[in-house]
Amino acid sequence: MKKTYSVIRSILAIIGGIAIIAVIIVWIESPKYDWYLDKNNYGLLNERLELLRTSGEYAADTNVFEMKTAQNEMRAQEIREYFQLDTLYPENATTWEKTVAIGKFVSSNIPHANQIKWPNDVNAIGLWEYIKDVEPAFNCRLHSIFAFELFLSADIKARYITCMSQDKDDPDCHVVNEVWLPELNKWAMVDTDMGGHYVTDKNGTPLSLKEMREHYISGEKMLIYPAFGKAQKDKDYYAYMAKNTYWFSCWGTLSYYQEDYKVEGIDRNSYVNLIPSGYTPYGIDEGYIVTTDAEKFWNAEYLND
């Protein structure tokens, strides 16, 4: 009898071990961002489009704020050398070619995850050390901060923006970058998280967040480029961003170490929220600016700083 129990225990142990190995294999092989793009997104698309189409208009207001970046050439040089950025693209690359090359570098090396431990050093070099030594992936905000500092170091004007939903009970938002394309005199959205994406109009011109929102409302065709590759019909991403282009938030001034709060001397005095008229935003900290002035929020004047 004892021998029988021993055999049964051995068999159960083997089965349990196989089950654990199977779970680990599935976890490793599956894209870590699948949960983030909920498969219910597409089913909610029409509802999300209707929210955008019935939202209030933008309008000029009397709020005073600036939108600008602060370059630090010494830090830019340090980051360029650390990541060998000039090896990612040819010397004569356009701004968009540089952007896509950096986007591919970030998205291919850093998957999405809700990290267990928040990084001690929230800057490009510190975050790279974090994925090597602590956790191999992190969330969209850290993705965008990381990519923003690489863009800035490559002399690409950029800003990372939090994209919010209309629903105050929805805990999810998304953070992406916009880069300034002087060759086209416009902004372009760049998302390095969830495998990487950018979006263009039907002619292949990269779209900004502002233009994406307008395309959702008008119903104009958008092409989505997952993994910065060939355009595909990525229905989940299309529906996901329809949710998260209702209103937007961004630091008034953006620089290296922007959210690395151990580093002093960084301008963190202005945070600007762009909302449609008649909408009451949620989660706004005291002292933050709320505006309906889209013209001022999306302007490019500060690029001359």
Task: Give me 264's structure tokens.
Answer: 């002093």
**For residue 33, pLDDT beyond 70:** no
Range in 68-72, 97-101, 122-126, 229-233 with the lowest mean pLDDT = 229-233
Q: What is the pLDDT of residue 36?
A: 46
pLDDT given at position 303 = 53
Average pLDDT in the 125-150 region? 97
**76 and 1 in one domain?**
no
Instruction: Please state the rounded mean pLDDT for residues 278-288.
Output: 91
Mean per-residue pLDDT, 285-304: 83
Residues 6 or more apart in contact with residue 290 via CB below 8 angstroms? 63, 273, 275, 281, 284
Return the higher-pLDDT residue of 31 and 205: 205
Say if residue 159 is in the same domain as residue 19: no
Task: Based on the fold, state whether residues 287 and 140 are members of the same structural domain.
Answer: yes
Kindly state whether residues 17 and 100 are assigned to the same domain: no
User: Mind listing the pLDDT tens digit for each residue in 138-172?
Assistant: 999 999 999 999 999 999 999 999 999 999 998 89
Q: What average pLDDT does the chain have? A: 89
The span from the CA of 208 to the CA of 294, in Å, is 13
Residue 299, pLDDT score: 84
Residue 28: its pLDDT value, please? Answer: 39
pLDDT of residue 17: 54
Q: Which uninterrupted H or E stretch holds 247?
A: strand 247-251
In the structure encoding, which two tokens stand for residue 104, read together? Answer: 């591919």
* Domain shared by 249 and 290, yes or no: yes
Q: Are residues 49 and 194 in the same domain?
A: yes
DSSP string, 196-219: -EEEEETTSPBPPHHHHHHHHHHT
**What pLDDT score was predicted for residue 176?**
98
User: What pLDDT does residue 1 have?
Assistant: 53
* pLDDT > 70 in the chain, percent: 85
* Lowest-confidence segment of 12-26, 49-63, 236-250 by average pLDDT: 12-26
- Pick the more confident residue, 23 or 216: 216
Is the CB of residue 165 less than 8 Å from the CB of residue 246?
yes
Does residue 158 sit in helix, strand or coil? strand
pTM: 0.86
The pLDDT assigned to 286 comes to 84
Q: Are residues 19 and 49 in the same domain?
A: no
Q: Distance (Å, rounded) from C-alpha 293 to C-alpha 298? A: 9
Domain of residue 13 covers 1-30
| Least confident piece of the model among 35-39, 129-133, 258-262 | 35-39
Same domain, 90 and 4: no
Tell me the C-alpha distance between 67 and 55, whole Å.
24
Q: How many domains does the chain have?
A: 2
More confident of the two residues 43 and 118: 118
**202 and 237 belong to one structural domain:** yes
Query: Are residue 1 and residue 67 in the same domain, yes or no?
Result: no
Same domain, 23 and 103: no
Instruction: Specify whether 54 is located in the same domain as 181.
Output: yes
pLDDT at residue 196, as a whole number: 96
